[in-house]
Amino acid sequence: MKVRCLKCETVYNVPDSKIPEKGAYVRCIKCNSRFFLKKKSQTKIDPQEKQEDTQKDCQRICKNCERKIGRLETPHVHNSYIICSECYQKLKTSVGKEKISANSRENHKTKSQKDTGAKSVSGFRSYGLMNSFFSLFSKDLAIDLGTANTLVYMKRKGIVLDEPSVIALYTDNRMERRILAVGKDAKKMLGKTPANIKAIRPMRDGVIADFEAAGAMLKHFIRKARDGATFFRPRVIIAIPFGITPVEKRAVRQAAQQAGAREVFLIEEPMAAAIGANLAVTEPRCNMVVDIGGGTTEVAVISLAGIVSSKSLRVAGDKMDDAIIRYLKKKYNFIIGEKTAEKIKQTIGNAYPEAKISEVMEVKGWDLLLGKPRIFSVDSEEIREAIFDQINAILETIKLVLDRTPQELASDVVKSGIVLTGGVALLKNLDKFLSEETGLPITIADNPLSTVAIGSGKALDSIELLDKVIIS
C-alpha cells in the first residue's frame, strides 16, 4: 500500500504483509517525523464518515501526538486516519514553508545565473537592475574632505560646492551645542567668537578630529550640494590620505552614512589627484604625484591603477601658517592670527629666491613690547626663511619615495616628471625649487585646488575605474 508522510508528503510503498494487524508507529526517513500506520483494510474509511464518528466519540486519540481529541474540537483526516486540529495546522504550515523555501531557492538560483555578468566593487556591492535604477535618479557625489576646504563634485555637473572646512557651534545654557554657521560664514568667525560660540575645524591633518562636528558639517554640505532633499539617497566617494589608520577610515565612512549616503566608497588622495590631472593611471608606466593640501602632503608613484610607492607627510599648508606665526613672534615679538598668516603665505610667500626686489606686505597684529596693536611690514625673503623647514621636509619625502621606486618606473619619472596638485602647489616658485633640487621636470596641474575632487568624480562616473581604485 502507498503511505504519505504527514510533514514532507513523501510517498512510500509498504507491503501489507509487513504491517501488523493493530498498526504500528513508523518514522519518515527524509524528515524524521513519526506517525501511525494501519493496514488498508482497517483504515479505508470515508473521510466524511470518519469526522462524524469522531464528533460522537470524544475519547478518540490523535494518531500523531496521541492526544485525546476534545468534544468541541473538529478532527481532521490525513492518510486515512484521524489527527487533531493542532497537528493539522502544523502540517499545513510546515508543508507551506517547505514549498516557499523550495521556490525561494529556485528563484535565487535563477537570479544568480542571470547576474553572473554583473560587476562588483570590493565584494560588497552588485550593480544590478535596482542599483542602476537608483543611479539614474540619485545625485551621486564625490567629496574632497580636506583640512582647509571641502569640495563636492556632482555626477554629470562637476564641482558644485567649494567651501572652507569650518563649522561654528553655539552652546546654550543647558550645555547643548547647535549649528550656528558652516563654511564661509563660519570661517569669518575664526578668532572672533565669544565664550559660548566656537568656530572650529573638525578636520586636522587630513583626518576627523571632532566626529560630531565633522558629521554635521558633511551633512550640511551634502544637502547644499544636492539643492535640498531628494527621495533617492546618493552614493558618495570620499578622498582620504594614504597613510590613515582603519579607525580613521571607519570614522570617515560613518560620518558620511550619518549624513545620508546610500553607499560610501573611499579613494586615496594621490590616486584621485592623478585621475584628476588626466594621468594614465591604468597603464604600466610611472605617474608621480605630489598633492600638498592644508593638512597632509601625499607623495605617490602610481602604475596599473595601484600605488607602487607612497608616503603621507602631515606637513602642509597649516604647518606653514603656524611657522609664519612663530617666526614673527620669535623675531619681532609680533603676534598675528591664522587667517593673517594664511594671507601672507598666499600673497608674498615663495619657495625659491629671486634676483628682483623682494615683495613687502603690511599686516596688522599685536606688538608684545608696546602692548598695543600696530601695523607691521614683512617681506618675501623673511617668509621664505620662515617656511623653509616645511618645504625642505616635502623635498626629503619626494626623494625618499623616489628611492623606494623600482628602477623601471624611476626611469619613467625622468621623462614624465612630477605633477603638483593641492593648494600649496600655487606657492610661488615651488616648482622651480623642486626642479632645481631633484633635477626632474615639475608640472602644476591645471586646477590644483580641485584636482582631487575632479578625480574622485571621474572615478564615480566610471564603474570599471571605480572597481580598480577604491579601497576597503
What residues are designated binding site?
A: 147-149, 294-296, 342-345
At residue 417's C-alpha, the angle toward residues 411 and 421, to 5°, is: 140
| Backbone CA torsion sign across 312, 316, 318, 320 | positive
Distance CA 420, CA 394 (A): 12
Kindly report the three-state secondary structure assignment for every residue of 213-258.
Answer: HHHHHHHHHHHHHCCCCCCCCCEEEEEECCCCCHHHHHHHHHHHHH
Count of C-beta atoms within a 10 Å radius of residue 267: 23
Under the phi-then-psi rule, with left for phi > 0, alpha for psi from -120 to 50, and beta for the rest, what region is 246? alpha
Residue that has been written with the C-alpha cell 557651534 in this structure: 169
Distance CA 274, CA 288 (A): 8
The β-bridge relationship of strands 177-182 and 167-171 is antiparallel
- Binding-site residues from annotation for ATP: 147-149, 294-296, 342-345
**DSSP for 263-323, written as a single string:** EEEEEEHHHHHHHHTT--TTSSS-EEEEEE-SS-EEEEEEETTEEEEEEEES-SHHHHHHH
Count of C-beta atoms within a 10 Å radius of residue 366: 16
Distance CA 349, CA 383 (A): 6
465 CB burial (10 A radius; 0-12, 13-18, 19+): middle
Distance in Å from the first CA to the final CA of the chain: 62
Scored b (16 or more CB within 10 A) or e, 102-138 reads: eeeeeeeeeeeeeeeeeeebeeebeeeeebeebbeeb
Three-class SS of residue 153? strand
The separation between CA 352 and the C-alpha centre of its own chain, rounded to angstroms, equals: 40
Nearest to 423 by CA among 148, 160, 192: 148
**Element containing residue 96 per DSSP (H, E):** helix 85-114
Contact status, residue 440 vs residue 414, Cβ threshold 8 Å? yes
Residue that has been written with the C-alpha cell 547647535 in this structure: 178
